[in-house]
Structure 1
Amino acid sequence: MRTLWKRAALGAAATALLTLSLPAGGSAEEARNGGVLRLIAHPEPPTLMLGLNQQGPTQFVAGKIYEGLLTYGPDLQPRPHLAESWEISEDGLVYTFHLRKDVRWHDGQPFTAKDVVFSATDFLAKVHPRARGHFGRAEKIEALDDHTVRMTLKAPFAPFIMGFETSSAPMIPAHIYEGTDYQTNPANQTPIGTGPFKLAEWKRGAFIRLERNADYWQAGKPDLDGLNFVIVPDAASRALAFETGEVDVLRGGDVEYFDVQRLAASDGVTETRAGYEMLSPTMWVQFNLRSAPMDDARFRRAVMHAIDRQFIVDNLWFGFAKPSAGPIASTTPFYDEKALVTYDYDLKKAEALLDEMGLKKDANGVRTTVRFLPLPYGETYIRLGEYIRQQLEQIGIRTQTVATDHAGWAKRLGDWDYDLSLNLLYQYGDPSLGVERAYVSTNLVKGSPSANVSGLNDPEVDRLFREAAVATDRETRAALFSDLQQRISDQAYFGYLIEVQFPTLYRSGIENLVTGATGLNGEMEDVRLPKR
């Protein structure tokens, strides 16, 4: 019966993929003949308006539609993109960007300095949690002429140049959004960017089809005719679709981790773990600190003692992860293992902490009941949620699991409508860029799952982040971040679980698939398919 069901699911996926096999505009003969790269969008993104939503699935698809001023190499060094060059003043206060003069939006309008100023000071400042803090460090952002933008900071901020990749600061067309309600603008349904691909068709629940931008500013690029993202909700069917050649690429999380090694060993398949140097994702248990018992550090520490992180690495991620103990990933700058307060797997310690709180077991062995919001990113994440639930019940914490889809999870988290949740944080190359947003009280903004949704309001945490951001020498920053890691881990404000690795599998012969520090979330303008 299961085999029959899998075949039926694969048949549906294959039908959708075959529907997508022709490039936009008609027949294969009319195509540019660069071919169509076939991928999987999982889970299906809630929107492709990258300025409004920065969740992983949106970044993956919309990162080909929108662009930032810069891109970044595996060494995290900035590369020119919409800005062809830049200068930084000796005092670290003034950044001057020189924009390319031949860039047009997908609707044909020119991209100018006005769009950069509007994006940085208006649109992103209002709706983008990371960009709000980033551009909020500027005293003034101004257009010197149509193709020159000057950003003057209030104080030196060493990682400022790291905040211009596409998901951190997507450029937004001023002529479409200026003076409108950004959340309800009809253009959100048909996103307009400057990227190498344009939205051609989105059939909800089935596929997203992007077509080549023939007027792209990089001459002769992209080589591909288009990108087809099929939506297949079942991991087994996604694995079969790759095995049978219906899709060309699998990214981390598309299939079960126990399938990755098997598929990677297949003839004509290449595996890489490169491409996520900037993101370095960390998985955690998120506590809503606004209400009891989550507001008590003893409860949070008890939860951490109840979870075996090595079990998660070995049996759920099958080695494609490592245990995590603090807010800064071990793959990014300023990680300090010695500063971390760790919580070994010990159910007796967990129960002792709950007893100390006065949370006694009732006749059914239940101390308290909490609403638990798992992360609906696929089967592995669902099993992680089930494991967490089972472990908490062993120490008398009953969970009421709130089952949602991806959009529902984001809404509940952004509305602070949960007790415990699971979340995945991207680091973005520096703690002041990717980490700070989830911790500081200045980002207690309702409505976004990427802001400070836990309710953390610790003046000492705020101070350490604030001083580390403006410190001008690395040693001072390192010392402040060490103190920060010690305080946050000691208070167990978050329940750190694992640092996740995202292996990419693809057909051997595909060129330039992963070239930058954001992996498959990049623009893909240089990707080439093997000749068939």
Structure 2
Amino acid sequence: MLAAAGIAASLVALPASAQESGGTLVMVTQPEPPNLAPYISTSGPIGQVASKVYEGLVNIGPDFEILPSLAKSWEISDDGLTYTFSLQEGVTWHDGEPFTSADVQFGIMDVLREVHPRGGSLLQVIESVDTPDDLTAVLNLSEPAPYLLVALNGYESPIVAKHIFDGTDIRGNETANAPIGTGPFKFVEWQKGQYVRMDKNEDYWQDGKPYLDRVVVRFIADAATRTAAMESEEVLLGGFGAIPNIDVPALEELPYLEATTEGYGYFAPMMQLQFNTSKAPYDNEKVRQAIAYAVDRDFVVENIWFGFGKVATGPISSLFEPTGLYTTDGVIDYTVDDRIEKANALLDEAGYPRGDNGIRFSMVHDMTPYGEEWRRFGEYVKQALGEVGIAVDLRYEDVATWLKRVYTDYDYEMSSNWLFGLPDPVIGVHRQFHSDQIRQGTVFVNGMLWSTPEMDALMDKAKTENDPAARAELYKEFQQVVTEAAPVIFMHEMEFVTVYNTKLHDVVTGPLGIYNNFADMWMEQ
């Protein structure tokens, strides 16, 4: 699907003889991650760091071809129920222990299926993993899952070491902040509030790689300082909003800096507002619809994200249009010219008239703690909802506190957020709306506490439907129902920018972008 959208590598690799070893890559990530445990959280900054340490069974190439990683080859049975992986020889964990099929079995069955935010849904189709020998892992499925192989990459499904995690509290394992993987870089230290340092894995299983000596990921809270650090070459790389969109055009004018919007094809990120539908008045569909009408999506894209993005119409990104899974047919259009009038009428119908002071009710809007754009967006929301009589108080907290508030305590009313749609709705979209994804303490799943048996059945059917036309009809109904119920306000399909110094080569080598492991990146000395 995403290959059809034109996703490709932004840089062409030079011949091996031209590549140079050595150098320290300094990249900036915003905000600082709450931990370095991608098996328990898909928080964006975690993946940017931990993907250099942990690996998956496969990798993803420029045109979404599936490439070897910890698995050197694989076979899928004709009925689609058995995946047999032949593993790489001579792979060791960063503590020197050998990597074997037992790690694959444990990592999938005891970790990813149990505590990973998306694994609880995505990998439930895997009933068991057999280990006939140390270098063979056999996945036995309960039903065909054509979306599975692409999801076994290192970002989505990182394999962890059985000897480190077995018998421990997975969520509380001490390696959450000091990861031990098989990747091209070894974790060295985390100076909180400053940086994470990872050094070259001299025993990496790919001969001659990585080329870089070290990766240092810096955390700089102030947006202007991040831009200045890129300009002064203190920082060589930043993506996923680390460099504010407003500063990108000026940085591109500098001869030693480049910018690209490629390397985000895997993610299909969607910016949104979500409600806690267990709390009044957000348990009222009319109230949620009114707020959906009140916010001006075009204004947000053009004036807060400076044109980087596309107005969203529903839960499925328009990137899925080539597959037939995306539609606007029968989907409520919240961008109509008379949207303010509609919002006011719905709030009146819902039983929330304006008081003498013009206020219908008050709310707290929890802003995504990912930078200045989100603060500005919060300020806009306050202004827009004030126009229809809703008084908004803004709350901005650190990432860990925000995640706990929304996904563990459910102590919020409305929060801004952004989630990855990923290469198939089963992987990235179902988790937000299915009843079985109301998983207290698990982040980036159904934190709205909204679901219906009918919608669960619809998603379950779409998950296993192999006929493209029939599947498209199921997702058409899905988009119609979700946009009408409005537990989420879909604002815009986000377009991120990666800014990098031209001394870096092979920065973006596929749709995972800076979530790749950087084994192929090299630097001119």
TM-score range, shorter-chain basis? over 0.9
Aligned-pair CA distance for 1:405: 0.9
Aligned-pair CA distance for 1:176: 0.5
Aligned with 2:166 (options 178, 191, 204): 178
Verify: 1:101 aligned to 2:82, yes or no. Answer: no
Verify: 1:341 aligned to 2:329, yes or no. Answer: no
Aligned-pair CA distance for 1:73: 2.3
User: 2:249 is aligned with what amino acid?
Assistant: Q
Once residues 499 and 217 of structure 2 are traced to their aligned partners in structure 1, the CA distance between those partners, rounded to angstroms, is 15
Once residues 205 and 134 of structure 2 are traced to their aligned partners in structure 1, the CA distance between those partners, rounded to angstroms, is 17
Once residues 193 and 128 of structure 2 are traced to their aligned partners in structure 1, the CA distance between those partners, rounded to angstroms, is 43
Which structure has more relative contact order (CA 8 Å, sep 6+)? It is: 2
Once residues 520 and 33 of structure 1 are traced to their aligned partners in structure 2, the CA distance between those partners, rounded to angstroms, is 19
Verify: 1:410 aligned to 2:398, yes or no. Answer: no
Matches within 5 A, 1:295-444: 295-332=283-320, 333=323, 334-344=325-335, 346-415=339-408, 416-444=410-438
Query: For residues 165-188 of structure 1, what are the alpha-carbon distances to aligned partners after superposition, in whole Å with 9 as ceiling and x for unaligned?
Result: 223211011001101111222222
Once residues 452 and 308 of structure 2 are traced to their aligned partners in structure 1, the CA distance between those partners, rounded to angstroms, is 33
User: 2:376 is aligned with what amino acid?
Assistant: R
Matches within 5 A, 1:478-517: 478-517=472-511
Three-state SS of the structure 1 residue aligned to 2:64 is coil
Aligned-pair CA distance for 1:337: 2.7
Once residues 171 and 218 of structure 2 are traced to their aligned partners in structure 1, the CA distance between those partners, rounded to angstroms, is 26
User: 2:305 is aligned with what amino acid?
Assistant: W
What are the ranges of 5 or more consecutive residues in structure 1 without an aligned counterpart?
Answer: 1-31
Three-state SS of the structure 2 residue aligned to 1:300 is helix
| Mapped contact 2:84–2:139 kept (Cα < 8 A) | yes
Query: For residues 195-214 of structure 1, what are the alpha-carbon distances to aligned partners after superposition, in whole Å with 9 as ceiling and x for unaligned?
Result: 11111111111111111111
Aligned-pair CA distance for 1:399: 2.1
Query: For residues 465-509 of structure 1, what are the alpha-carbon distances to aligned partners after superposition, in whole Å with 9 as ceiling and x for unaligned?
Result: 101111122222112111111111122121000111111111124
Three-state SS of the structure 2 residue aligned to 1:515 is coil
Once residues 334 and 79 of structure 2 are traced to their aligned partners in structure 1, the CA distance between those partners, rounded to angstroms, is 43
Query: For residues 61-109 of structure 1, what are the alpha-carbon distances to aligned partners after superposition, in whole Å with 9 as ceiling and x for unaligned?
Result: 1110111111112432321111111111111111111111121110011
Q: How many aligned residue pairs are there?
A: 500
Residue 48 of structure 1 corresponds to which residue in structure 2?
36
What are the ranges of 5 or more consecutive residues in structure 2 without an aligned counterpart?
Answer: 1-19
Once residues 188 and 255 of structure 1 are traced to their aligned partners in structure 2, the CA distance between those partners, rounded to angstroms, is 27
Three-state SS of the structure 2 residue aligned to 1:208 is strand
Once residues 395 and 302 of structure 2 are traced to their aligned partners in structure 1, the CA distance between those partners, rounded to angstroms, is 26
| Mapped contact 1:74–1:516 kept (Cα < 8 A) | yes
Verify: 1:188 aligned to 2:181, yes or no. Answer: no
Matches within 5 A, 1:32-431: 34-332=22-320, 333=323, 334-344=325-335, 346-415=339-408, 416-431=410-425
Once residues 477 and 48 of structure 1 are traced to their aligned partners in structure 2, the CA distance between those partners, rounded to angstroms, is 37
Residue 518 of structure 2 corresponds to which residue in structure 1?
524
| Mapped contact 1:40–1:250 kept (Cα < 8 A) | yes
Aligned-pair CA distance for 1:400: 2.8
Residue 23 of structure 1 corresponds to which residue in structure 2?
none
Residue 17 of structure 1 corresponds to which residue in structure 2?
none
Q: TM-score, normalised by structure 1?
A: 0.92
Once residues 370 and 174 of structure 2 are traced to their aligned partners in structure 1, the CA distance between those partners, rounded to angstroms, is 28
Once residues 315 and 236 of structure 1 are traced to their aligned partners in structure 2, the CA distance between those partners, rounded to angstroms, is 18
| Mapped contact 1:71–1:516 kept (Cα < 8 A) | no
Residue 11 of structure 2 corresponds to which residue in structure 1?
none
Aligned-pair CA distance for 1:33: 5.6
User: 2:382 is aligned with what amino acid?
Assistant: R
| Mapped contact 1:312–1:384 kept (Cα < 8 A) | yes
Relative to structure 2, which stretch is displaced further, 183-192 or 237-246? 183-192
| Runs of 4+ off more than 3 Å | none
Query: For residues 377-430 of structure 1, what are the alpha-carbon distances to aligned partners after superposition, in whole Å with 9 as ceiling and x for unaligned?
Result: 000111111111211111111223222111111111112111100111112200
Query: For residues 305-331 of structure 1, what are the alpha-carbon distances to aligned partners after superposition, in whole Å with 9 as ceiling and x for unaligned?
Result: 111111011101111111011111111
Once residues 79 and 427 of structure 1 are traced to their aligned partners in structure 2, the CA distance between those partners, rounded to angstroms, is 22
User: 1:465 is aligned with what amino acid?
Assistant: M
Three-state SS of the structure 1 residue aligned to 2:148 is helix
Once residues 115 and 323 of structure 1 are traced to their aligned partners in structure 2, the CA distance between those partners, rounded to angstroms, is 43
Three-state SS of the structure 2 residue aligned to 1:133 is helix
User: 1:378 is aligned with what amino acid?
Assistant: G
| Mapped contact 1:66–1:171 kept (Cα < 8 A) | yes
Once residues 255 and 138 of structure 1 are traced to their aligned partners in structure 2, the CA distance between those partners, rounded to angstroms, is 39
